[in-house]
Amino acid sequence: MVQQPLNVTLATGATITFGAPLGMSNSLTFTIKNTGLADLTGLGIAIDGGFDATMFTVVTYPVATVSGPFGSTTFTVRFAPTAVGWKIAYLHLTSNDPDDNPFQITLWGRSLDSAHDSDGDGLSNAAEFYLSALGFDWQVSQPELVNAYFAAANSAGLYTANQLQALNVGTPLLAKDPLSGLFKLTIGVRKSTNLLDFSPFPMTTPQTTINGSGELEFQFSTPDNAAFFRLESK
């Protein structure tokens, strides 16, 4: 019998799905168990399916002979997409088994990106691939896990694109004082440790100076392990 994952038995003709972003790969290990009394011999693997088949590679092969009964061996298949979309190939496992020779498995592979969320749980396919060590699965809707991840993201030092863009300084519009004929530019610094709440961070002397190039320099220290500073002008 063939299992993937371990202890999940496949029937010949079964479908296995892989997923990986372009430039990355994903590998799955299959287990072959000999449930008969005689040795299972002549084990061999071939993958076909045109151009798509080039993206599936057998990276470890099973041993040629598996003793019976209760002997086992494994083989590993890697999917490394080189083009977007779904890919399909066919794996043929040959042996002396009179019932399933060859044993066939359909291999589906999808290139994962940040623009699609197949399971609809609010996290993209590519993000769930990179976060698989935390239990994320791009094929399984996990809204509670996704919500917990976003709720704790700031405390873990992770921030959204909108939060980072909030640090950008717009172009100030300077108005001339009609009495003095002078322009006044006011520059201030605000500090945050979570990108949500900003408080004034005054520039004081002698830490604030004008350098030889006529540029304002502000030297300071902060006790925080990580902090964000936003420059504001008007």
Q: What was the pLDDT predicted at 234?
A: 74
Query: How many structural domains does the chain have?
Result: 3
- In tens, the pLDDT along 77-130 reads 999 999 999 999 999 999 998 888 899 999 999 999 999 999 999 999 999 999
Tokens of 203: 């520039």
- In tens, the pLDDT along 28-76 reads 999 999 988 899 999 999 999 989 999 999 999 999 899 988 899 999 9
- In tens, the pLDDT along 167-211 reads 765 666 677 888 888 988 888 899 988 787 889 989 988 889 999
What are the backbone dihedrals phi and psi of residue 214, each rounded to the nearest 5 degrees, phi first?
80, 20
Whether 124 and 44 share a structural domain? no
Whether 79 and 27 share a structural domain? yes
Whether 23 and 106 share a structural domain? yes
Q: What was the pLDDT predicted at 172?
A: 60
Domain residues for the domain of 142 are 114-158
Whether 185 and 90 share a structural domain? no
| Beta-sheet pairing, 228-233 with 208-210 | unpaired
Q: Please tell me the pTM assigned to this model.
A: 0.69
pLDDT above 80: residue 227: yes
Residue that finishes a domain, picked among 47, 80, 112 = 112
Distance CA 10, CA 149 (A): 34
Nearest to 110 by CA among 89, 134, 96: 89
